[in-house]
Amino acid sequence: MNKYEEAMKKLDEDFGGKDNLISISTISLSQNDDGSCRPDARLVDAHYENGAFYTVTYATSNKMLQIAKNPNVALCFVVDKLTVDGIAENLGWVCDEKNLDLMSRIRPVFAKWYDEANNDEDQSTCLLRVTLTKGLWFDAHTGEGTRVDFMNKTAEKV
């Protein structure tokens, strides 16, 4: 197994099949006083599978409005010492026929709170996918890390 395959296996073991509380950062639609872009971070619950994280959100939320303007996002998992960049995409209404298979895997993962937090009858309740592009596992205590390029399917120790 090469380093990239090891990294993908670790992602699946650490994040697959469970509810993951992660930080997602987007670029705000409002600018700093000097006109520069500013980041906007928040926590979301996310499900991981096959190189992407998924979350259920609302189409008119600030997060989704920001993603519509700039789909480049960053994710951070403090406990697992992982930071990743990705491309975010609104997959549409959670009950859309194209999302039924995926939602059949996501709902059980979020079962404890899903119905309290979401209204599937509202067509603005949408599925957000973040396809990973690059990332870094880094343990500051040991100084060891692995840089992963998901697009080129490579990984290296740093």
The CATH code of the domain that includes 49 is 2.30.110.10
Q: Report DSSP state, residue 35.
A: S
Is the separation of the CB atoms in 136 and 147 below 8 Å? yes
Q: What is the pLDDT of residue 32?
A: 86
- pLDDT tens for the chain, 158 residues: list them: 899 999 999 999 999 999 999 999 999 998 888 989 899 999 999 999 999 999 999 999 999 999 999 999 999 998 778 999 999 999 999 999 999 999 999 999 999 999 999 999 999 999 999 999 999 999 888 888 999 999 999 999 99
What total number of domains does the chain contain? 1
- Signed CA dihedral, 17, 23, 25, 30: sign only: positive
- Residue 84 belongs to what domain range? 3-30+37-157
Q: Could you tell me the pTM of the whole model?
A: 0.95
Q: Dump the DSSP string for 51-97.
A: TEEEEEEETTSHHHHHHHH--EEEEEETTTTEEEEEEEEEEEETTSG
Residue with tokens 């991981």: 48
pLDDT computed for residue 133 by the predictor: 98
- Three-state secondary structure of 104-144: HHHHHHCCCCHHHHCCCCCCCEEEEEEEEEEEEEEECCCCE
Phi/psi region, residue 61 (left: phi>0; alpha: psi -120 to 50; beta: rest), is beta
Please say whether the beta carbons of 140 and 82 come within 8 A: no
